[in-house]
A = this chain, B = another copy of it.
Amino acid sequence: MSDLFPERGGVPAAASDRAWLQGMLDAESALARARGIEGADAIAAVCVAERFDLVSLGMASQESGNPVVPLAKALREVSGVDEAHRGATSQDILDTATMLVVRRALEPLLGDFDAASVAAARLASEHRSTPMPARTLLQQALPTTFGLVAGQWLTALDGAAAALRALELPAQLGGPAGTLVGLGPEVAARFAAELGLAEPVLPWHTDRRPVAAVAGALGAAAGVVAKVARDVTLLSQTEVGEVREAAPGGSSAMPHKRNPVAAITALGAARQAPGLVSTLLASMEQEHQRAAGGWHAEWRPLRELLIACGTAAAWLRACLEGLQVDAERMRANLELGVPAEERGGEALARHVAAAETLVDRALSPRRP
């Protein structure tokens, strides 16, 4: 977490140390309920992150290698229930907390994706017929419309969000050896149900497909943000000038600058995703019933990935919601590189009509 280096939107708070602690407490509470133990209510009553001291938990976690060992101890003390945590292993609690954090962090993240989509849809609709040069390999090619450009942004944003919504986030419960000994599948099923998470076929302590799926979907979502943000930076170039952010950044040294700060910061955040995804995929190689390093290697990259995507989405939303379009400049730019026989009259009309048909397809899922 950082004050200085870009974080924006609701994800950073939803993926904070405190949020992870709350996730662990929610898992402990759900476990007590799923097991039907006497002290379940007493446990539930104290499972509030504010009642525990993050810093001392963090320091104590250095002895056991993860924060659940000291947390379970603290929970027994605070609740007075010795049965707390019984039957579970540290990874049950931390993995379940991770899935809860992912679910909770996806809410603001998807909120920003959706808002960016709404903005893209508005741009697609308003500029359905606004001609501009299509550019391939950074060279002007033939006419398209800005509506279709925005329609492609919309389709990609909606698709990435749908893939995130389709993620199945499973609870984790297996006990020390992953056999569910002393608990059994029924407890595991109730545990998942308590938390609104999916019930896996087996414990997934060292079958990290759930983490890989989250990583893959976030990585693709970041790629979509990067594509749109890249387009905005290119269309904003001094020599192109077809779009402009509502609040371009100035420069202490050059007050005339109109930097597309939102798009640039979105891009800077989104580009952090591929490396983080690779770390999470490489971490799938986990030994036996609990990994010696591979599991531990997931924690920070997954959080950084959530924050990177969330920040990217929040900036892209800001960028698109305020995007100003210069339709005259678009038309004027056609003169610079599109052949004369394609940029006017019937030929232009044909290109525009083709683009309009596709804009309508892009917008159709949003029509009543």
Contacts and interface: CB of A to CB of B under 8 A. Distances in A.
Contacts of A257: 136-137, 139, 141
A285 B278 CA distance: 16
Contacts of A286: 227, 230
B237 A177 contact: no
A351 B284 CA distance: 26
Which of A85, A267, A287 is the most central at the interface, judged by chain B CB atoms within 10 Å of its CB? A287
B135 A289 contact: yes
Contacts of A269: 296-297
A185 B269 CA distance: 34
Copies assembled: 4
Contacts of A202: 148, 151-152, 155, 358, 361-362
A291 to B, nearest CB: 8
B287 A138 contact: yes
A9 to B, nearest CB: 11
A213 interface: yes
Interface stretch (A30-38, A56-64, A109-117): A56-64
Contacts of A220: 209, 212-213, 216, 281, 284
Interface in A77-108: 85, 88-90
A350 B181 contact: yes
Given A140-B238, A142-B176, A181-B142, A292 B272 contact: no
A233 interface: yes
Contacts of A224: 207, 209, 284
A156 B209 contact: yes
Interface in A176-222: 176-182, 184-185, 201-203, 206-209, 212-213, 215-217, 219-220, 222
A272 B287 contact: no
A319 to B, nearest CB: 12
A178 B362 CA distance: 13
A120 to B, nearest CB: 12
